[in-house]
Amino acid sequence: MLSILRKARLKDKEMRILMLGLDNAGKTTIVKKIMDEDVHSVSPTLGFIIKTIEYEGYKLNIWDVGGQKTLRTYWKNYFEKTDTLIWVVDSTDRQRIDDCRRELKGLLQEEARTRTTLGAGLELDSITTHKWAIMACSAMTGLNLEEGLRWVIQDARDRLFLF
């Protein structure tokens, strides 16, 4: 269903571009330059700014999101319906390259819980009326999906069939 919606949107030739990076990396300056606006009067982006431009037959909706530390925790909220992420780096800011790398990796890394923390958070130990299991899996890579199905079938077989 999602691929159908994406294809329908691509027929309209519309794209959502998310522009992220540390504060003062140059995100807003890049957007202003693309929009042919004055780049000499740039102030920090508090929150986000959306600019739309027609480029080579495409309608580009560029989301310029502030890079201050206080705003970074909200970055993942902007990912929905995003077609492209542009990560902006100020290559002259040598002191913050480690911060930049950490933020990018943290942004792209899935926040998977361990079995222990997941089980504790869901209070699974208190469920004694049903059999349960925690199995790490990935819908994207297929990791452990077959194993999970095998567990489901085995559990159902044990409960439903006598032989």
Residue ranges of the annotated binding site for Mg(2+) are 28, 45
Q: List, as residue ranges, the binding site.
A: 21-28, 45, 67
Catalytic residue among 68, 95, 109, 154: 68
Reading the block at residue 73, the tokens are 């925790």
Is 154 annotated as catalytic? no
Q: List, as residue ranges, the binding site for GTP.
A: 21-28, 67
Q: What are the residues whose beta carbons fall under 8 Å from the beta carbon of 151, sequence distance 6 or more?
A: 133, 135
Classify each residue of 84-113 as buried b or exposed e, where b means 16 or more C-beta atoms within 10 Å of its C-beta: ebebbebeeeeebeeebeebbeeeeeeeee
Q: What are the residues whose beta carbons fall under 8 Å from the beta carbon of 106, sequence distance 6 or more?
A: none
Q: Kindly list the catalytic residues.
A: 68
